[in-house]
């Protein structure tokens, strides 16, 4: 059998698609389900080869019902996968016009506020929207639409103030809303010492590509959640790198149609 260049490209595309799918479901409930489906497929073929007719009939019908169960039970993971596919440079949402100097200033203000909250052991939860819109989350809180300043960030999370209990959302490099309600993670393997604030910070990153920055009110430790994973006790340099990589990337990845790139 002759293998041409088109066959190599075809195989490469399929291999890359499976790799990205695996990375998407890695360390999630879907990963365990895929393993279960693989066992069922192998068992079905083995029972067919050994002519275990009853076992083979049961396994085949289980597979058919399993497809429907997969769509129902793993709706969040499927939604996340489709959102990932939909995030492409050609159809990127227009991002507000900001100069890099403005972004650097916003990042510095955020860092000062986060570490001030950490030193005072004031619990806080900051969500940074990226390409997947989270307007449904924003609508659960109070619209602020203010410039990012350390004074405003700290004041929002001061205990016993109206907006301190909830999440703050940053969108288009502005404080869009505060006091927002977030979905809690469904991950059953998290450390039991993690409270509601951390679980909410992780939960929103399971349903979108946003970033959560969490300050613990018990220890003052700062954590970052992304893609359903939590990174605890992160340094100032690490947070600064994350903020620069994402806020500046938003500024650079404007819609190609907005640039006129397709019509130059």
Task: Return the beta strands (E) in 150-244 as ranges.
Answer: 167-171, 174-180, 211-215, 222-226, 229-231
pLDDT 10s digits, 156-213: 999 988 888 899 999 988 999 999 999 999 888 888 888 999 999 999 998 888 999 9
What is the pTM assigned to this prediction? 0.63
pLDDT tens sequence across 66-76: 667 666 666 66
Average pLDDT over residues 237-261: 63
Q: How far is CA 248 from CA 156, 205, 244, 252, in A?
A: 25, 20, 6, 6
Is 41 or 213 the better-scoring residue by pLDDT? 213
pLDDT for 243 equals 84
Q: d(Cα 137, Cα 130) in Å, to the nearest integer?
A: 13
Provide the token pair at 32. 């365990």
The pLDDT value recorded for residue 65 is 75
Give the pLDDT mean for 230-234.
93
């Amino acid at each position: 059998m002759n293998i041409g260049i088109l066959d190599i490209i075809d195989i490469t595309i399929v291999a890359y698609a499976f790799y990205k799918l695996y990375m998407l479901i890695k360390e999630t409930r879907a990963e365990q389900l895929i393993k279960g489906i693989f066992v069922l497929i192998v068992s079905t073929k083995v029972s067919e080869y050994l002519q275990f007719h009853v076992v083979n009939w049961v396994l085949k019908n289980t597979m058919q019902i399993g497809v429907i169960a997969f769509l129902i039970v793993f709706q969040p993971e499927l939604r996340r996968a489709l959102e990932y596919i939909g995030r492409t440079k050609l159809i990127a949402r227009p991002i507000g016009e900001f100069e890099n100097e403005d972004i650097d200033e916003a990042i510095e203000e955020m860092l000062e506020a986060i570490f001030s909250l950490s030193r005072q052991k004031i619990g806080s939860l900051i969500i940074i929207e990226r390409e997947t819109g989270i307007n449904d989350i924003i609508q659960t809180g109070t619209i602020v639409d203010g410039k990012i300043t350390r004074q405003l960030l700290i004041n929002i999370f001061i205990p016993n103030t109206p907006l301190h209990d909830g999440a703050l959302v940053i969108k288009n490099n502005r404080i869009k809303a505060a006091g927002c309600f977030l979905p809690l993670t469904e991950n059953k393997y998290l450390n039991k010492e993690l409270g509601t604030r951390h679980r909410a910070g992780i939960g929103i990153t399971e349903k979108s590509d946003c970033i959560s920055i969490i300050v613990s009110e018990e220890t003052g430790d700062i954590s970052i959640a992304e893609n359903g994973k939590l990174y605890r006790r992160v340094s100032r340099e690490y947070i600064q790198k994350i903020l620069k990589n994402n806020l500046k990337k938003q500024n650079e990845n404007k819609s190609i149609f907005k640039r006129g790139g397709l019509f130059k």
